[in-house]
Amino acid sequence: QVQLVESGGGLVQPGGSLRLSCAASGSRFSIVAMGWYRQAPGKQRELVARTTRSGFTNYADYVKGRFTISRDNAKNTVYLQMDSLKPEDSAVYYCNFEGVVSNHWGQGTQVTVSS
């Protein structure tokens, strides 16, 4: 069984920064890609950023230039550096690890951007 443990969410003022982390543990599996998604109240879960093991990275248009996804393959960990945060970035953020035949989600961490 695979467990994804997220950390780093919280309350921040507009313009501030947060760094999310997500580490995988448990059963070993071949990771194809790692990503971050978010879900605001009343909205569907949406992609924020995704990076493949081969190095391809893509971002949602609304976070380009503000968020940076990175990973440590040796530690099976993915990070999301979020800068210049806006109130509309408030949501529950979920990490996702894609395997060849499996898909795993973290428990979610709340990010609230408010003054």
Amino acid of residue 37: Y
Q: What is the mean pLDDT of the chain?
A: 94
4 burial via Cβ count (<10 Å: 0-12, 13-18, 19+): buried
pLDDT in the model for residue 50:
97
pLDDT tens digits, residue range 25-71? 887 778 889 999 999 999 999 999 999 988 899 999 999 999 999 99
pLDDT in the model for residue 1:
83
The yes-or-no verdict on residue 86 having pLDDT over 90 is yes
pLDDT in the model for residue 102:
87
Q: In angstroms, rounded to a whole number, what is the distance separating the alpha carbons of residues 60 and 76?
A: 23
